[in-house]
Amino acid sequence: MRIAISGAGVAGTALAYWLHRTGHTPTVIERAPAFRSGGYMIDFWGVGYTVAGRMGLEAQILDKGYQIDSVRTVGADGHTLATLDANVFRDLLGSDFTSLPRGDLADTIHSTIAEHVEMIYGDSITAIDEDDDCVRLTFGRSGPREFDLVIGADGLHSNVRRLVFGPDADFEHYLGCKVAAVVVEGYRPRDDLTYMTYAVPERQVSRVALREDRTLALFVFRDASPDVSDPNAQLHNRFADAGWECPQLLAALDAVDPGDLYFDVVSQVRMNHWSRGRVLLIGDAAGCISLLGGEGTGLAITEAYVLAGELHRAGGDHRRAFDAYEARLRPLIEAKQSNAQQLLGFFATRTRFGLWLRNLAIRALNLRMLTHLVAGTVRDDFDLPDYGI
């Protein structure tokens, strides 16, 4: 089938890989003028890691990844308040675990399709018209085209979802937090292979050293308003007086091209159905668990594999494939969304007493006998099919 994919992120490129591998002709449409890297640091494990292995990408991902030693929480003067040995997670998850910038993972997947799949950059879908035989797409710049299916893999603020299912407000649920991520050059100190984090009530900032003398900084803060205009001003307003290295990190952020700053709301997408006719949503467009859930990228890769597998198994019957896809994945996504809501208090704790309790919990997790208490939030309760593809 001719399948249009809106979005050249992890979900879209992974889906294009599997569709091409199973004999379809995918076309990826991306509104950005070129492939985008960058973004925040992710921990990569679980079923998404397994799918990446089936794509033959494990060695490349490990080469780009970082084997973080510890997570260290510090006070305003830099003294250590709590440290978590990263081997706690490796004990829970096994050796299939690494940390890497989201853009590096996206670039690894993109490299598998760059020479085989049509990629349309600098354009977006403006209208979707369906009949019994095909879907006709109208574009902002290109001429209209017909496809057999359309897949919205265009993220939290999905354009395809808006065109087919309705306005964002019907599906996006703002969790009362915002997040910013930026990579800066030459920042000191570095603290290699340590995830450094500092928190005051309702605000947290973290940094992790990257190769080539780069540092990735992550800001999370509570805010009643979902407005994302003027991100630098919002970050200065919330973190300028927060203490620790916040003034230095803000100064480094100001020196970065504004286009290299990731800034967005922390939200979830909840929908009763992920498909309508010949159009289906995957990844964050259908069931964003929120950045704080920690596994959205791995889930997107899993969803891409399952969708391609169900289309292959259904022999071209898209309705049967779409229904099987949703029935298989919805319980997993809803469970992950529930876990992510519980983690909100960890990233943006409301009170000083809450911060004290959080640090106590971090120290306690180093006791291996207690790690089973969090196993359900990090392990994937999902039987990954083998579609023979």
Give the residue among 353, 337, 331 at the shortest CA–CA distance from 292: 337
Sign of CA dihedral 180, 181, 183, 186: positive
pLDDT band at 90 (very low <50, low <70, confident <90, very high): confident
What's the pLDDT score for residue 346?
A: 81
Instruction: Return the minimum-mean-pLDDT range out of 120-124, 231-235, 360-364, 377-381.
Output: 377-381
Which residue(s) pair with 5 in the sheet? 28, 151
Q: What is the DSSP string of 280-334?
A: EE-THHHH---GGGS-HHHHHHHHHHHHHHHHHHTTT-HHHHHHHHHHHHHHHHH
What's the pLDDT score for residue 87?
A: 82
pLDDT band at 361 (very low <50, low <70, confident <90, very high): confident
What's the pLDDT score for residue 46?
A: 85
Residue 293 pLDDT exceeds 90:
no
User: What does the block give as tokens for 236?
Assistant: 């200065």
Residue 366 pLDDT exceeds 70:
yes
Distance of CA 197 to the CA centre of its chain: 20
Q: What average pLDDT does range 46-72 have in this prediction?
A: 92
Q: What average pLDDT does range 36-64 have in this prediction?
A: 88
Residue 375 pLDDT exceeds 60:
no
Which residue(s) pair with 215 in the sheet? 184, 209
Residue 368 pLDDT exceeds 80:
no
Distance of CA 301 to the CA centre of its chain: 10
Distance of CA 104 to the CA centre of its chain: 12
Give the residue among 187, 35, 154 at the shortest CA–CA distance from 104: 35
Residue 377 pLDDT exceeds 60:
no
What's the pLDDT score for residue 39?
A: 67
Please identify which residue in the block is written with the tokens 């709590």. Answer: 82
The pLDDT mean for the chain works out to: 91
Please identify which residue in the block is written with the tokens 């891409």. Answer: 304
pLDDT band at 237 (very low <50, low <70, confident <90, very high): very high
Give the residue among 10, 113, 108, 111 at the shortest CA–CA distance from 60: 108
Q: What average pLDDT does range 180-184 have in this prediction?
A: 93
Per the model's pLDDT, the better-predicted residue between 350 and 379 turns out to be 350
Residue 251 pLDDT exceeds 80:
yes
> Which three-class secondary structure state does DSSP give residue 161?
helix
The 3-class secondary structure across 187-253, one letter per residue, is: CCCCCCCEEEEEEECCEEEEEEEECCCEEEEEEEEECCCCCCCCHHHHHHHHHCCCCCCHHHHHHHH
Sign of CA dihedral 86, 92, 98, 101: negative
